[in-house]
Structure 1
Amino acid sequence: MLLMKGTPQEARCGFSKQMVEIVHTYNIQCSGFDIFSDEEVPQEPQTYSNWSTYPQLSVSGELIRRLDVLTTKELEASEELHTICPKSPKLHEKLKALTNKASVMFFKKGNKQEAKCGFSKQILEILSSSGVEYEIFDILEAEEVQQGLKAYSNWPTYPQLYVKGELAGGLDIVKEVNENVNCCLY
């Protein structure tokens, strides 16, 4: 857990931003918690860890490092991060697992109940009317996935529909396939 000022996506101090960069550089699996999101929280870690500044990186509840005490180079040179911090799956592996999470995976802006763009809404309507079971991943929830999936699929826009882990396409292809299927049924 990284107790910090702000979030990993939007750090609110230089030390927190540096710690997030280190966590990403070393592919450390870590959640971030914005100490400003709850008025009671900023005092608790100080009492718990006996240290009054942020960010604080903890593994299994134990304070590991504080960036304000160490220089970035000293922290990076420390083997401690390599040996005790859990590693995140590599992005390629993570994207492969996500695209194979269900037989039909739909990557879009918004959740199943709400599409945040017209293209996503149209694909949702096609999927819903087809009776196909599908899962949704909201790309707005994970910047790494949003950017990484573009390179992974070699498809620069959203929404993206995957069938059995393979990119089927975006709205234009889904519409074309849907029209051809409906045409053949009549």
Structure 2
Amino acid sequence: MVLRDILQKTEFEDTISSDDLVVVHFYADWAAQCGPMNDVLEELAKQAELKCVKFAKCPAEDLPEVSLKYSVSAVPTFLLLRSGSLLDRVDGANAAELTKKINLQVSKCSNITSPAPAKPAAQDLTSRLHGLINSAPVMLFMKGTASEPKCGFSKSMVALLDSHGALYKTFDILSDEAVRQGLKSYSNWPTYPQLYINGELVGGLDIVKEMNESGELQKLLPKKTTLETRLKSLINQSKCMVFMKGSRDEPRCGFSKQLMEILREAGIKFDTFDILTDEEVRQGLKTFSNWPTYPQVYVKGELIGGLDIIKELKESGELLNTLKGES
């Protein structure tokens, strides 16, 4: 089963109207965690016991009406729906919680007289383990999750990775006994946590500690993009960048609508970012620029101001030069 792409509102409505369980991943191409989570959905779609589940992905910023309706303010976000009704959701890149909630919904609609599913063949488990290990550049198999470790060793490993600002994904081996036991044989490593980098086993906590002390670990770990770095990248995405509620064609507040009219009249080229689709950007940009309201206009990475400032510049005849970065 493939991971279906939803690119239009009508496609979304048609997909979620199914009597089957539908899992929709709201993603953005710039969000580092979304790619690995798409890989997780691909792996889940291959499982025989989930053959009745439809998996899809939807670009949150391209479908603002849908994102707004379902309160999708950050990515990745996962909605579990059936017959158009929202059953559950997972906010953030939490593969273990997502798997648990999907299995729970599947079990609710399963016929209690149905025979138990056959255990996967050894080859199927091997393929699954290979897929999980390679589902992210840095993969940690642990007890619990990064936010809620279930043993001291896992907690120490998470703290070590976080101290380097590492970008990594976790799998809760307590949620899947087949993976828990199978991975021991697959990698010939009897204990947890187990850390993998680029599909290769690094080792457990003791090995990782030794690598950390030698300075070798830090060189191998990909780093998270900080919010400040991301905001700087966004405000420099275009020579004239507007952060607003909605899009240029569908503003979601009166101030944003007025601003679009003024900018169109000025004939200036500009790009927009819908802050309703990303709560992290919405709140972070207020602090970053020390400007508490929206819309916000940036030229060459520098804040010009909001609607009132733009109106003042228009009245004084300075708007066009300002937006061109010539003032």
Structure 2 unmatched runs, 5+ = 1-35, 42-71, 81-89, 107-123, 167-216, 320-327
Letter in 2 for 1:129: E
Q: Which residue of 2 aligns with 1:65?
A: 141
Corresponding position of 2:278? 142
Query: Which residue of 2 is the match for residue 24 of structure 1?
Result: none
Whole-angstrom distance in 2 between the partners of 1:174 and 1:90: 30
Q: Name the SS of the counterpart of 1:59 in structure 2.
A: coil
Q: Deviations over 1:9-67 (max 9, x none)?
A: 6899xxx77xx5xxxxxxxxxx6775578x99xxx99x7249xxxxx99414x853255
Which residue matches 2:259? 123
Q: Indicate the structure whose relative CO is greater, using CA pairs within 8 Å and at least 6 residues apart.
A: 1
Q: Normalized against structure 1, the TM-score is what?
A: 0.65
Note the C-alpha offset of 1:87: 2.1
Structure 1 residue 182: Cα displacement: 8.2
- Structure 1 residue 144: Cα displacement: 1.4
- Distance across 1 between alignment mates of 2:231 and 2:241: 11
Whether the 8 Å contact between 1:8 and 1:32 is mirrored in structure 2 is no
Structure 1 pair 63–167 and aligned structure 2 pair: CA distance change class (3 A) = closer
**What amino acid does structure 1 have at the position aligned with 2:225?**
P
1:98 aligned partner, one-letter code: L
Pair member with larger Rg: 2
Shift of 1:113: 1.4
SS at 2:237's partner residue?
coil
Code of the aligned partner of 1:59: A
**1:95 Cα deviation from its structure 2 partner:** 1.1
Aligned to 1:94: 230
Where do residues 72-83 of structure 1 align in structure 2 (5 Å cutoff)?
73-79=155-161, 82=166, 83=217
Write out the 4+ residue segments of structure 1 that deviate beyond 4 Å after TM superposition.
6-12, 31-37, 78-81
1:88–1:173: structure 2 CA closer, same or farther, 3 Å change rule?
same
SS at match of 1:162: strand
Contact 1:107 1:137 in 2 (8 A): yes
TM-score between the two structures when normalised by the length of structure 2: 0.39
Shift of the 78–168 alpha-carbon distance from structure 1 to 2, 3 Å rule, reads: closer
Q: How much has 1:119 moved relative to structure 2?
A: 0.3
- Alpha-carbon distance in structure 2 between the residues aligned to 1:179 and 1:164: 22
Identity, % of aligned positions: 38
1:101/1:32 CA distance change after superposition, 3 Å: farther
Aligned equivalents of 1:138, 1:32: Cα separation in 2: 25
Q: Does 1:177 align with 2:297?
A: no
Shift of 1:128: 0.8
* Count of residue pairs the alignment pairs up: 159
